[in-house]
Chains A and B, each alone.
Chain A
Amino acid sequence: MNVKQSKLLIVLLSTITSLTVLSACTLMTEQSNKEFPLPLNLKAVYWGADVQFPVRGLVIEDDLNVLMVGKESKFLVNRDTVEVEKITKLGIGDYRLLVEVLDTKSDTFYIECIENNTGVTRHDLSLITSDNIDMLNQDSIRWIEADEITKRLK
């Protein structure tokens, strides 16, 4: 048995062991724990090193896994383009979602996700940005720290 064959054998044995462990653990932990459901068919998902490197962290996706808000996504706030560094807080309402975001300049701004019923575009959602939380409707909003969600998802 040469070196290449022995290496391959080690990999195969290791993989079989891992699969056994994975099967056992899958029974104990449900897949739904990897997604945190949000209103409007949105969900919070943790993008670890298996998705991308450098790690993107906690992101907001829609039902087709399209990135709505997350690290490196960009928005216009007061006609300036700002880049998201980190999601810090989520405000959950019945039919809308508020996201508190830290940008790359460490400034805080807010994104409100609501259903798009204007008929202007075919987008399912309207994303409204503001750097002032008072400009957004906070009625019946329940705030959750993003770190808490991240702990549940990781």
Chain B
Amino acid sequence: MKPIAAVTPGHSPYHANYNNPVMFTDPLGLCPECPRDKRYYDARDNFMDYEPTSYVSSNLNRNSWVHSIGRNSRVYERYQMWSDARTLGLDEYAQKYGETYTNMNAYWRYYQEEQIANGVQVKRPQLIILGHASRGYFPLERTYVGPDSPQPDVGIDSNYDAVYQYLFGDGSPQAIGPNTTRALMNTETFRGVHNDILRGRRDLTGEFRVDMTDIVSHIGRTLVGWSADPSNQTITYSLYLRDGFWDPDFIDERVLGEGLGIPMFQADGMGPNLERLGGTPYEYIPTVITVPMTLRLFKH
């Protein structure tokens, strides 16, 4: 039985090399690929609960942004700084380098333009197409949920939960449940942006809006932020940013307030004028999810 079988969920503890000695090696007999493979850990060295067989070969991981530009000291330095930003946190990073993520995005573009101007051929990011993600959906149960995120088995996960919390809750911020998060991450918008990031068609950080009105109506339109970390080959998404359940009767607010312009129904921010039901508005706790760049989504 393998000593660290707990880190290979989905496999028998008595297997060797995931029953695939051609693709995987396990010289120590502990865990094929796992301990020395950075892909299974996030920037904080937390284990990412992915099924290792979804990765075909560790060599593929070398065809990455970091690899293609890693030999250039200047841009590597930039990525090192970016990596520090993930490790240190934004405040310490800003103190150390006096820079922001925005500058990183701009420098990333400037660097490439400069290279072209100097006649240097810039290698484009290589795409990695792997494993079970070919189903085209985020398998949330296999996605690492960061330490700042709610546990996957708690949270507001239906309109009933949302309204109940509004009526009988104390207004404290609430986490959103896994079903809602899974639905959000499988929207066409989310998958499209994710694929764009993998293709190098987006900046390292950014925000986008997802309209969940027809899927989970209490979420409505919500905001998602991302930050890509090429050095660690991960993308971190923050869902439901500064969103909340301001009112169960938001439809009135949209139709009568915004649509027809009746003043008493117009929103005035958190907890608009429609608290006639005696509820207490509350914020959503942002859900932070880190996924590897190797997870490509299709059907876009």
Task: Name the interface residues of B234-281: CB closer than 8 Å to any CB of A.
Answer: 241-244, 246, 248-256, 258-260, 267, 269-270, 272, 277-278
- Is the CB of B100 closer than 8 A to any CB of chain A? yes
- Whether a CB of chain A sits under 8 angstroms from the CB of B167 is yes
Interface contact A121-B112, CB-CB below 8 Å = yes
B-side interface size class: 35 or more
| Set of chain B residues within 8 Å of A11, measured between Cβ atoms | 163, 167, 248, 277
Cβ–Cβ contact A120 & B116, under 8 A: yes
Is there an interface contact between B256 and A65, defined as CB atoms closer than 8 Å?
Answer: no
Q: Which residues of B contact A (CB under 8 A)?
A: 100, 102-103, 106, 109, 112-113, 116, 122, 124-125, 163-164, 167-168, 189, 192-193, 196, 199-203, 206-211, 220-223, 241-244, 246, 248-256, 258-260, 267, 269-270, 272, 277-278
Interchain Cβ contacts under 8 Å between A and B, 30 examples: A4-B168, A7-B277, A7-B278, A8-B167, A10-B277, A25-B259, A29-B259, A45-B209, A47-B209, A47-B221, A49-B270, A50-B250, A51-B221, A52-B242, A53-B244, A53-B246, A54-B242, A61-B208, A64-B192, A64-B196, A66-B207, A75-B102, A76-B103, A118-B113, A119-B116, A121-B200, A121-B201, A123-B109, A123-B201, A123-B203
Query: Looking at the complex, which of A13-21, A86-94, A98-106, A137-145 is the stretch in contact with chain B?
Result: A13-21
Query: A residues bordering B, Cβ < 8 Å?
Result: 4, 7-8, 10-11, 14-15, 18-19, 21-22, 25, 29, 45, 47-55, 61, 64-67, 73-76, 81, 118-124, 154
Are A67 and B207 in contact, with the CB atoms below 8 A? yes
